[in-house]
Amino acid sequence: MASFPILGCLIVAPLALWWFANRGRNDKINPLGLPLPPGPKPYPIIQNLLDVPLHKSWLVYSEWFKIYGDMVYLRVLGRDILVLRDLKTTNDLLEKRSHNYSDRPPLPMLNDHMGWNFAVASMHYGSLWRRHRRLLHDHFNAGVIKKYRPVQISVARILIRNLLESPSEDSDFSDQIRFTFAAIMMKITYGITVKDKDDEYISCAEEALKGLGEAATPGRFLVDIFPIMKWIPSWIPGAGWKRKAEYWAIINTKIINEPFEWVKKQINEGCAVPSICSRLIEELPEEGSLEEEKIVRDVCAITYLGGADTTVSVILSFFLAMCLHPEVQKKAQAELDSVLHGRLPEFTDYPFLPYIQAIAKETLRWNPVAPIAFGHVASEADEYNGYYIPKGTFVLGSGNHARSLSLPKSKLLHPERYLNNNNNNKIDPTIRDPSIAVFGYGRRICPGRFFVHESLFIVIVHILAVFDIKPGVDEDGNEVEVKPNYVTTGVLQYPAPFSCRIIPRSTQAEELIRNSDSVG
């Protein structure tokens, strides 16, 4: 009798797999008789389940592109997946046909179990998404972001003071970077001043985004393929995914509710600090619905999370790039010295610093924070370049398109690619900006992209104006080799820890840093 459950599983499991593999088959009928895009040959029943890469998937996709071309198709237990290589193909589908490619796939682990359904990035396309998106656009479009500049300058100057007080050779300087951007976003979003890098709001953001990186990877968790697994109790052996989800759900609940309730309390007491959250709460109608308040709460949470950590990867890449390319650093500092003449930078210096602008663009392009973009879904069947794209296909546009925007030297840090040598080294408007591949596509493009650009600029100019960035040294005083290695949480990547010396350029620069608290 004890063998009956095992026998039952042996019978039921293949039938379940067969059902998943063939579900929706009627929806996949190809009325034009066109071929599907090429891809790895599927196995019986499980199809391409074993082919789906779970770690640094973009590297596997790069190898597939060499074999199959610009579009690679997989089918995993009834789900269609299409991976796009080049910018033209991605633009043709996700931009020009955005009406058909603006939805998101079902994300049971991320949305249902971890509570990320508050995030506009993972919501299904529709009226609720548009309401969230409209609020984000209202506060981060190109015409309004100037109002955040005083906070951005203030926090950039806090950063250079913190870097000065840290050991000159500090492999943990990344903590200061994370603190800086978390502080910017917490102040702008909620009016809350975080005191140090151990603040609970900062640690919660890091944990939440770690969970996002893992759960947004297609195929990482089986519950995304077999939603029926949601009924499995968390205490059963093998249900570790559910215990992870419960932990991350608690983190997300804290991020969504606690700072929001703090602002509401401050408003009721008449002492609220001006912030996005306080303005949105005050704009709610007196008899507003709970749904309207929830939308405001959700928008504030994703505003904070969106800027608190992902930009950190870009700044850490900047430090890594300066260690690897001292010639770029020296050229940038020469430009800064010719403009600043011994003072700290301001946003008004932007037009006179084209090489710094180029470094910011190149840092975005060099090692994109999201090498594989968040997936889109084909709402209806489509045809492209003679291939059939079934309804419901999960479409991935690679963030690594940024790498191929400006050749040659695509793998090297080369800011000069954006400059026009025939026009006094000004930014060349004919060179495609890497932002078109870094911040997403179509109606799903990141609403905070203009704010990110300004944050990158003001942090980079402050650091280069007063510091030299060099590789660390060993116990014999010899510089250690710095390698451009990256680690990944799933869909996001960060430079692996590396030894770095952050040294004031001169005694005058050190004095400028110490006095920066009285400026700006």
How far is 488 from 217, CA to CA, in rounded Å? 11
How far is 145 from 340, CA to CA, in rounded Å? 24
How far is 19 from 30, CA to CA, in rounded Å? 20
- Provide CB contacts within 8 A for 237, sequence distance 6+: none
User: How many other C-beta atoms are found inside a 10 Å radius of the C-beta of residue 389?
Assistant: 24
Contact, 395 vs 376, CB < 8 A? Answer: yes
- Provide CB contacts within 8 A for 266, sequence distance 6+: 191, 272, 273, 278
Contact, 174 vs 312, CB < 8 A? Answer: yes
How far is 101 from 472, CA to CA, in rounded Å? 46
Phi, psi of 259 (to 5 degrees): -65, -30
Long-range contacts of 225-229 (CB under 8 A, 24+ apart): 225/20, 225/49, 225/76, 225/77, 225/79, 226/16, 226/20, 227/106, 227/108
User: How many other C-beta atoms are found inside a 10 Å radius of the C-beta of residue 479?
Assistant: 13
Contact, 320 vs 209, CB < 8 A? Answer: no
Per-residue tokens: 64: 């597939």
3-state secondary structure (DSSP) of residue 360:
helix
Check whether 446 is labelled as a binding-site residue.
yes
**Angle at the Cα of 216 (from 211 to 221), degrees rounded to 5?**
85
Direct distance between the N- and C-terminal alpha carbons of the chain, in angstroms, rounded to an integer: 78
Strands 382-384 and 387-389: antiparallel
Please name every residue paired with 296 in a beta bridge, in sequence order, or none if there are none. Answer: none
How far is 460 from 483, CA to CA, in rounded Å? 21
Candidates 166, 177, 173; CA nearest to 202 is 177
3-state secondary structure (DSSP) of residue 450:
helix
Element (H, E) at 200: helix 200-215
Preceding amide of 408 cis, omega within 30? yes
Measured in whole angstroms, the distance separating CA 99 from the mean position of its chain's CA atoms is 23
Pick left, alpha or beta for residue 443 (phi over 0 → left; psi -120 to 50 → alpha; otherwise beta): alpha
3-state secondary structure (DSSP) of residue 85:
coil
Contact, 296 vs 275, CB < 8 A? Answer: no
- Provide CB contacts within 8 A for 67, sequence distance 6+: none
Contact, 7 vs 360, CB < 8 A? Answer: no
**Encoded amino acid at 17, one letter:** L
Which residues sit in the known binding site for heme? 446
Which residues sit in the known binding site? 446
